[in-house]
Structure 1
Amino acid sequence: MSSNILFLPFRKSHSLVLSDAIRQYISGKYDQHPDMFKQDLEVIDSLRREAINVREPHVSGLKKIAAYAAQLVWMGGKFPIDIGADFTWFTALGYNTKRPITQDNLKFELCNVLFNLAALYSQLAVSVNFSSPDGLKSAANYFCLAAGVISHMKDKVVPELRTAPVEDMDIATLESLQELLLAQGQECFWQKAVMDGYKDSSIAKLAARVSDLYSTAGDWAVQSEAISSEWIHHMTAKHHHFAAAAQYRQACDCLEKRKYGEEVARLRDSMLCVNEALKESRYVNKTVLGDLNGLKNKVSEDLKRAEKDNDLIYLNPVPPKSELKTLERAGMVVARVPPDVSSPLDHLGDNAMFGAPLFAKLVPFAVHLAASIYEERRDRLVSTQLTAPLSALTASIHSTLSALSLPGSLQALEKPLGIPPALLAHAEELRQSDALARLDRSFADTAKLKATDTATFASGRD
């Protein structure tokens, strides 16, 4: 591996039987039996096991990680984000790499898997042969793909976490890593141009763009809690190094075009940039430091020669730095999201690269959720539109009957079958007091009194 190039380390995870959580969720939340998906449950465990055990920079690991990531995206349409599985991961950057982070979150799992995919691309980049043009071209391609994966995480996955991202997945960290990977990809094109003998003006444009990218990466890195100070010093040194290299190459172009005064000005600026880079000498590795000292020696020798020739022979005015034309940039890299990451579902199918989608026969979570919402709204509608008004009307009727002193009628309404209890009680009281016999005697006495009164009335009339 090239020691003047940085790569992303892998994130590590604990083993997890994901199928247990999925089985339990299906059993508790769906009408379908988990045994219908026995094979799918075995496959998802196998995919995760293979993905988290990728530890070497080999192209075979790309498919293992991407296949599991694609199935996680597909499962997001079948299950909720909190499926009941405790995904445990260790951060790859920063000062807390030994502290585990556990979340019940499918998107958190996807973020970690994609980070490892970006890490694998970056490690593949630094493992190629940097001494050949084809190797440099391949490395640049891997760096662009790694940056693309980081970009996809930042724009598409992290916003869906529903929780604050962990410290090495916040926006500042991901932005810094993306720019760093692009800077190193651009650096590969610069090195290839040097190797292929491109014109100095073209090499200067490439170097200027490398410097810009390292500068942006460093600006984001100082806002991150996860990017180490060692990496920040590396980015700072690289920024000034390539600013110096760009000015040096432009000075060489000036010499060729007989612009001797501008040549001196640009060589002086190049020396200033080299000296700025060397301020980081205590913190960068020996390879980076060796590159800086080599450039400094070259610039110093050319500057002495240029100043001497101009002072003695050409006598061209040396313009101040403020009057130097800003160098043009030649950008050769962009963050390219791999197709199997940007459109993972297109790679799932019976004859597709990642195989058939798992749990295809399971009712989608969105449908299950919609059914639950329908039932809830139906029950609320019945309660508010029917049950509540009916209860209010029943209470009003009871109140009216009570106001009319109709307890018997009220009881009859409440218990419409049989004679009201109050009426039965009153009849029992009458029976116990021999009311019928007394009533018959009253009728007989009344008849006797009537006969007596009639006779008395008749005699009086006569």
Structure 2
Amino acid sequence: MQTDDLVSIPFRRTNSVLVSPAIKAYILNKYDQHPSTFSADLRAIDVLRKEAVNATEPHTGGLHKLQEYAAQLVWMSGKIPVDLGVEFNWFPSLQPGGESAENNLQFELANILFNMAAMYSQLAVQSNRATSEGLKSAAANFCQAAGVIEHLKWQIASDLRSVPPDEMEPATLDSLYSLMLAQAQECFWQKAVGGKMKDLIVAKLAARVSDLYGESGESAYKSDRLPSPWVHHINAKHCHFAAAAQYRAACDALEKRKYGEEITRLRDSLACVNEGLQARKWLSRQVLADLMGLKSRVAEDLKRAEHDNDTIYFSHEPAKSELPGLDRANMVRAQIPREVSESQAMLGEKGQLGQPLFAKLVPYSVHQAASMYADRRDRLVNGCVIADLDGLTHKMQEVLSGLGLPGSLQALEKPLGIPPTVASHAQEVRQANGIHKINATISHTMKLKQDNQSVFNEGVDVLRKEATEDDTARRRFGTEQWQRPIGREAQPSLYEKVDELQSYFEQANETDVRVQKKLRQCESLVRLLGGSDRDLEDYVPSSRRANLTAKVERAAVKLRETMDEWNRFERRRRQKILTLKNKVSDDDIKPDLLRIASQLERENPMQPIAASHFESLFDERLRKYDPDLEGIRSEESTQKQILQKIQDANREFVSAKRGEAVSKEREAALQNLEDAYIAYHEVLRDLDAGQTFYTQLAPLVAEFKDQCKEFAETRKVEAKKLEDGIVPVTAKTTQGGCQAGCRAGCQDRETSNGGEASHDLVERYANHLCKRSS
């Protein structure tokens, strides 16, 4: 929006959308709290958004609505993920264009802050600058507009996970930032002129106004997003105040009787005015009238000064390079409103920005931290304790099976019928529905696997399609014009995740194959254990009852005692594992996380809570599993001792029964059933681990697919901009071109800023303006 002599930022517009359904669904799916607890907050957030996005008239009430909604968005970002599931559609304000849509709370916040800056600028333009208080209010509002833009650029737009809208690209925001400060400085200049302050003071104020307009113009040249009338307005203002600064400096020189300096400065002033008038047909009536009025006054004073010097003073007229540089009197700086920089401190029971919504909702970072801790704890317990204990048991069972135990002992002790141990194993398998349970578990595991693979493939297909489109465009336009990295280089972490997830699937598939092979090897015997007693008796051949010698009986008793010792030890181990699992199940870290989170919010309400804040708590909580880790060595040592006893006793037993009439077939059958029972439990454990793996993998592949879609969408927008930029644009130059007058008028600035680099930049900017004006 442009008034006669000042510019205000127009509001970005949006469609009406409800935020509450997505928040409600997220709470329902991800939290252990019911959405009904937050019914009032869900209604409030929708009302806040509606009021904020409809605040499109310059009024302090509308400003407050924007501040309230922005504060709640910042607060909510600590409790709810940014990709909540709401598409926020916003339309550009500076130039016509298509909408930008993002499933991103930070994107919504960026647009609200943009409108807040627009509101401050419109309040500034609306101020009555005919009064001292009005000028003061206008300057303050312009400075706060600049402060909001600064906050938007460095704290929000730079942290968006997608390409920011054109109006929020750094160059555009830089131009608006400098423009707001330039207009604030102009208010101080106007107050000084109205207050009849000394010419040199007014000159220093004007020189700084010119600098700021120049900085805004240079950024506008890089941006290409500001409307052409704005760019001409900014350039004209830059030239106007360069001319005004030189004119006031000339007046000061006259007062100090430096007649030659007066003439040189007046000439520079006139040259700068003429440059500002190059784009007169794009200027507002007020800006054009100001330039024409200044030109008339400068021309009149120059004519008088030249006449007086030629006839009276005969003073030396110095070259421009000989003139002393003008100091700058800077009166402005960006002021980030407290409602933005300290918004979280202003939320509360008596806070100016209202009560924080969803205050009782556990912060999202706490859920992330709880998940991180659970993952570390489970890896520690399952991978370093339970897996090691299971490994020790499996190793022992392999050794016993190699020794033919307990089959050979059972065949001798009970030559007829089914031994009690085997009968017990059979009863257990029957009650668990044996092979049917295994097949059902396999079916469910394969369904989880296929679902995960399907979601993963969708994400890979999205990346493949993006790569194909990018390659097509690169061949079409050529590598010199299509200058952007390929997808793998642009987002290497995402492509690394493809390889990582693919390796997970491959490793899991290898494990699945091993489990199925193990099942095939023992399936017939597991079916037998789960069948009838008659089938079991038919499988185990009986042997005749023999009269054992005393030596054999003693050896058998000794072996039985050592085997019973192992069985008792194994039962204690299983109980120890069960106790450890219960310990893990009861290990609820959330109360401690909430306590620390509350403490952090009190001590530093502006600092977002991250999972990394809880590292010391993680370490402290995991130390309570140290005794379980240390106990593995004791378990291994005791097992070695028992195994040695069994091996010694078994050698005596084998030696003693040599020559006795013992059925080898019965020994083999009983040993096969024992091995099948052990394999049955191993298969169940492996299948349970497989289900757990695929269940935990599901959110990872879902997140991967979402990231692929987001990346592809970002690349599509980027490609559209790149393609638009490749289309050749012809431009004409305005008749007469840009003159050197403004550069002459800004000579002091160039001298103080290092000369050639500044000169080249201004020259490029001036040439650019000529092209845009055609």
Question: What TM-score comes out, normalization by structure 2 length?
Answer: 0.53
Provide, for residues 5-27 of structure 1, a one-character-per-residue CA deviation record: whole Å limited to 9, x for no partner. 11100011111111111111111
In the other structure, the counterpart of 2:71 is 70
2:276 matches 1:271:
no
Tell me by how many angstroms 1:227 deviates. 2.0
In the other structure, the counterpart of 2:89 is 88
Q: 1:406 to 1:156 in 2, by over 3 A?
A: same
* Aligned pairs for 1:405-444 within 5 A: 408=407, 416-418=421-423, 424-425=537-538, 428=541
Higher helix share: 2
In the other structure, the counterpart of 2:339 is 340
Task: Give me the whole-angstrom Cα distance separating, in 1, the residues matched to 2:401 and 2:316.
Answer: 115
In the other structure, the counterpart of 1:198 is 197
Q: 3-state SS of the aligned residue for 2:282?
A: coil
Q: Is the 8 A contact 1:348 1:355 kept in 2?
A: yes
Tell me by how many angstroms 1:397 deviates. 4.0
2:255 matches 1:256:
yes
Q: 3-state SS of the aligned residue for 1:102?
A: strand
Tell me by how many angstroms 1:281 deviates. 2.2
Q: 1:426 to 1:86 in 2, by over 3 A?
A: closer
In the other structure, the counterpart of 1:368 is 367
Provide, for residues 253-292 of structure 1, a one-character-per-residue CA deviation record: whole Å limited to 9, x for no partner. 1111211111001001111111221222243333222221
Q: 3-state SS of the aligned residue for 1:418?
A: helix
Tell me by how many angstroms 1:387 deviates. 4.1
Q: 1:41 to 1:254 in 2, by over 3 A?
A: same
In the other structure, the counterpart of 2:330 is 331
More moved, 313-322 vs 121-130: 121-130
Tell me by how many angstroms 1:164 deviates. 2.5
One-letter amino acid of the counterpart of residue 53, structure 1: N
In the other structure, the counterpart of 2:45 is 44
Task: Give me the whole-angstrom Cα distance separating, in 2, the residues matched to 1:409 and 1:342.
Answer: 80
Task: Give me the whole-angstrom Cα distance separating, in 1, the residues matched to 2:217 and 2:242.
Answer: 14
Q: 3-state SS of the aligned residue for 2:101?
A: strand
Provide, for residues 278-310 of structure 1, a one-character-per-residue CA deviation record: whole Å limited to 9, x for no partner. 222243333222221221111111101100100
Task: Give me the whole-angstrom Cα distance separating, in 2, the residues matched to 1:104 and 1:30.
Answer: 20
Q: 3-state SS of the aligned residue for 2:279?
A: coil
In the other structure, the counterpart of 1:359 is 358
Task: Give me the whole-angstrom Cα distance separating, in 2, the residues matched to 1:163 and 1:380.
Answer: 34
One-letter amino acid of the counterpart of residue 138, structure 1: S
One-letter amino acid of the counterpart of residue 360, structure 1: A
In the other structure, the counterpart of 2:229 is 230
More moved, 158-167 vs 173-182: 158-167
Tell me by how many angstroms 1:375 deviates. 1.5
Q: 1:244 to 1:390 in 2, by over 3 A?
A: same
Tell me by how many angstroms 1:71 deviates. 1.1
In the other structure, the counterpart of 1:311 is 310
Task: Give me the whole-angstrom Cα distance separating, in 2, the residues matched to 1:409 and 1:276.
Answer: 109
Q: Is the 8 A contact 1:205 1:330 kept in 2?
A: yes
Tell me by how many angstroms 1:417 deviates. 3.3
Q: 3-state SS of the aligned residue for 2:89?
A: strand
Q: 3-state SS of the aligned residue for 2:37?
A: helix
Task: Give me the whole-angstrom Cα distance separating, in 2, the residues matched to 1:427 and 1:13.
Answer: 80
Task: Give me the whole-angstrom Cα distance separating, in 2, the residues matched to 1:324 and 1:411.
Answer: 114
Provide, for residues 361-395 of structure 1, a one-character-per-residue CA deviation record: whole Å limited to 9, x for no partner. 11122212111111222222233213433454455
2:132 matches 1:133:
yes
Q: 1:409 to 1:260 in 2, by over 3 A?
A: farther
Q: Is the 8 A contact 1:402 1:410 kept in 2?
A: no
2:185 matches 1:180:
no
In the other structure, the counterpart of 1:458 is none
Task: Give me the whole-angstrom Cα distance separating, in 2, the residues matched to 1:428 and 1:11.
Answer: 88
One-letter amino acid of the counterpart of residue 308, structure 1: H
Tell me by how many angstroms 1:407 deviates. 8.6
Q: 1:89 to 1:417 in 2, by over 3 A?
A: same
Q: 1:302 to 1:410 in 2, by over 3 A?
A: farther
Task: Give me the whole-angstrom Cα distance separating, in 2, the residues matched to 1:308 and 1:205.
Answer: 28
Tell me by how many angstroms 1:176 deviates. 1.1
Tell me by how many angstroms 1:76 deviates. 1.6
Unaligned 5+ residue runs, structure 2?
A: 412-419, 426-528, 530-534, 547-774
In the other structure, the counterpart of 1:7 is 8
Task: Give me the whole-angstrom Cα distance separating, in 1, the residues matched to 2:539 and 2:277.
Answer: 115
Q: Is the 8 A contact 1:401 1:410 kept in 2?
A: no
One-letter amino acid of the counterpart of residue 379, structure 2: R
One-letter amino acid of the counterpart of residue 89, structure 1: W
Q: Is the 8 A contact 1:262 1:324 kept in 2?
A: yes
In the other structure, the counterpart of 1:442 is none
Q: 3-state SS of the aligned residue for 1:6?
A: coil
Tell me by how many angstroms 1:132 deviates. 2.5
Tell me by how many angstroms 1:232 deviates. 2.0
Tell me by how many angstroms 1:425 deviates. 4.9
Question: What TM-score comes out, normalization by structure 1 length?
Answer: 0.87
In the other structure, the counterpart of 1:444 is none
One-letter amino acid of the counterpart of residue 172, structure 1: A
One-letter amino acid of the counterpart of residue 242, structure 1: F
* Aligned pairs for 1:140-179 within 5 A: 140-179=139-178
Q: Is the 8 A contact 1:190 1:203 kept in 2?
A: yes
In the other structure, the counterpart of 1:377 is 376
Rg larger in structure:
1
Task: Give me the whole-angstrom Cα distance separating, in 2, the residues matched to 1:424 and 1:112.
Answer: 79
Tell me by how many angstroms 1:246 deviates. 0.3
Tell me by how many angstroms 1:400 deviates. 3.5
Tell me by how many angstroms 1:54 deviates. 0.7
One-letter amino acid of the counterpart of residue 41, structure 1: L
One-letter amino acid of the counterpart of residue 251, structure 1: A
Identity %: 54
Tell me by how many angstroms 1:410 deviates. 11
Tell me by how many angstroms 1:50 deviates. 0.5
Q: 3-state SS of the aligned residue for 2:355?
A: coil
Task: Give me the whole-angstrom Cα distance separating, in 1, the residues matched to 2:241 and 2:410.
Answer: 98
Task: Give me the whole-angstrom Cα distance separating, in 1, the residues matched to 2:50 and 2:540.
Answer: 86
Task: Give me the whole-angstrom Cα distance separating, in 2, the residues matched to 1:145 and 1:151.
Answer: 10
One-letter amino acid of the counterpart of residue 266, structure 2: L
How many residue pairs are counted as aligned between the two chains? 429
Q: Is the 8 A contact 1:262 1:319 kept in 2?
A: yes
Task: Give me the whole-angstrom Cα distance separating, in 1, the residues matched to 2:410 and 2:209.
Answer: 94
More moved, 382-391 vs 403-412: 403-412
Provide, for residues 225-260 of structure 1, a one-character-per-residue CA deviation record: whole Å limited to 9, x for no partner. 422333222212211111011000111111112111
Q: Is the 8 A contact 1:251 1:262 kept in 2?
A: yes
Task: Give me the whole-angstrom Cα distance separating, in 1, the residues matched to 2:111 and 2:186.
Answer: 27
In the other structure, the counterpart of 1:445 is none
Q: Is the 8 A contact 1:95 1:226 kept in 2?
A: no
Tell me by how many angstroms 1:357 deviates. 1.1
Tell me by how many angstroms 1:219 deviates. 1.1
Task: Give me the whole-angstrom Cα distance separating, in 2, the residues matched to 1:48 and 1:351.
Answer: 21
Tell me by how many angstroms 1:158 deviates. 2.0
Q: 1:423 to 1:266 in 2, by over 3 A?
A: closer
In the other structure, the counterpart of 1:439 is none
Q: 1:399 to 1:312 in 2, by over 3 A?
A: same
Q: 1:256 to 1:389 in 2, by over 3 A?
A: same
Unaligned 5+ residue runs, structure 1?
A: 437-462
Q: 1:419 to 1:279 in 2, by over 3 A?
A: closer
One-letter amino acid of the counterpart of residue 87, structure 1: F
Tell me by how many angstroms 1:409 deviates. 5.8
One-letter amino acid of the counterpart of residue 175, structure 1: D
Q: Is the 8 A contact 1:398 1:410 kept in 2?
A: no
Q: What's the C-alpha RMSD, in Å, of the aligned pairs? A: 2.5
